[in-house]
Amino acid sequence: MAHIHLEDGSFSLVWVIVWWTAAIILIGISLYLLRSGKKTDSRKITIAAFCTAAAFAIFQVSIPVFGGVHLNLTPLIGILTGPAIGSLVVLIINILSAAIGHGGWSMIGANTLVNITEVLVASSLFSLLGKITQSPFARAATATFAGLVCGNIVMVGIILVSGVQGVTQSPTQILAGLSLIVAINLAVAALEAMVTGFVVTFLYRVRPDILGGKQENPGR
């Protein structure tokens, strides 16, 4: 959910180019990793495509709490597909979102950076936590929340560094303004952590193989 909900024209051209370049470099690294590793696994591609579609579809659902909340489930994508494919998936989701007006085209670079942070943090924390706790709920919820917190930090950082065109406030003033948004984002992040926790728990019961676990003949 930690999305920069800035539309086109908010950043100046220099910063648009900077964030786009940074994102393209990260995507390039992901592509390189994917292509150099063995042969490209066509099954992974199909699954990534479906994750993209599923995440986008879920974003369209408005959950009737707090007057309607939309979830992005970016950390879940990280947990399910890993960092490399996850990065590609969030790029595509951002392009699709821009196409329907949710976030500007020039913001895709910055948004992708934020989402890649979430993907990276959530997926690595999720596998790290596997050594500490067995509870999929705890692992997923913690990883998700941490991922979203980091995403928020990156988001605030990006806005502070680039500034919003026309806003003449000092970084401190901007930070004060942003803190409110961060607070709201964190509340939603808590909800998203809970939902991701449930999703992963459910996945563990029904399709443990998706999460890299062993299928142990459940309830047949």
Partner 1 sequence: MSATMISQHIPDLDLITSYAERQDSFFSRVSPWTKLGGLVLVILLITVTRNLEICSTLYVAILAMYYLAGLPVKKLFAWYSLPVIFVLSLVGLLAWSEPGTPIFSCAVTGVTIALTDNGVLLIFTLLLKALISVTYSLFFLMTTKYEHFAGMISRIFPSPLDQIFLMAYRFLFLTLAMTGAMLKAVRSRGGGLVHSTRVQGRIFAEVFALVFIRSFERAERVHKAMIARGYRGTFGAGTAIPRPGLSGYGVLGAFSLAIAVIVWMVPNTGGW
Partner 2 sequence: MTVIRRDPHAPHCPPIDRERELIHVDCASHTYPDGSVGIHDMCFFVLKNEIVALCGPNGSGKSTLIEHLNGLLTPSEGDIWVNGRSITSGEQTDLWKEVGVVFQRSDDQLFAPTVLDDVMFGPLNMGMPVEEAKAAAMEALEAVGAADLVHKLPNYLSGGQKRLVSIAGILAMKPKVMALDEPTSDLDPVHASRIEHLMTDLKERFSISVVIATHDLDFAARIADRVCLVKNGSVFAEGIPAEVFYDAELIADAGLKVPQIVRVYLEYCGLHGIEPHEHPIRVEELLAVLRNKPYRGNKRNLV
Please name which of 167, 129, 131, 159 lies closest in space to residue 145, comparing C-alpha atoms. Answer: 129
- Identify which of residues 22 and 210 has a Cβ nearer to partner 1 in the complex: 210
Other CB atoms within 10 A of residue 26 CB:
19
Q: Are 94 and 116 within 8 A, CB to CB?
A: no
Window 178-217: residues binding partner 2 (CB under 8 A):
202, 205-207, 209, 215, 217
Query: What's the min distance (Å) between Cβ of 69 and partner 2?
Result: 19
Please name which of 72, 48, 60, 86 lies closest in space to residue 152, comparing C-alpha atoms. Answer: 72
Query: What's the min distance (Å) between Cβ of 213 and partner 2?
Result: 12
217 binds, among partner 2, partner 1, none (CB under 5 to 8 A by kind): partner 2
Q: Does the footprint of partner 2 cover residue 219 (CB under 8 A)?
A: yes
Q: Which amino acid is at 107?
A: M
- Identify which of residues 15 and 137 has a Cβ nearer to partner 2 in the complex: 137
CA geometry: angle at 82 spanning 76 and 87, to 5°?
85
Window 18-77: residues binding partner 1 (CB under 8 A):
27, 31, 34-35, 39-40, 42-43, 45-54, 56-58, 60-66, 68, 70-71, 73, 76
Window 191-210: residues binding partner 1 (CB under 8 A):
191, 194-195, 197-200, 202-203, 206-207, 210
218 binds, among partner 2, partner 1, none (CB under 5 to 8 A by kind): partner 2
- Identify which of residues 28 and 132 has a Cβ nearer to partner 1 in the complex: 28
Q: Contacts from 50-57 at CB under 8 Å and sequence distance 24+?
A: 51/77, 51/80, 51/81, 51/89, 52/89, 52/92, 52/93, 52/96, 55/89, 55/93, 56/93, 56/96, 56/97
Which residues of this protein are in contact with partner 2, per CB under 8 A?
202, 205-207, 209, 215, 217-220
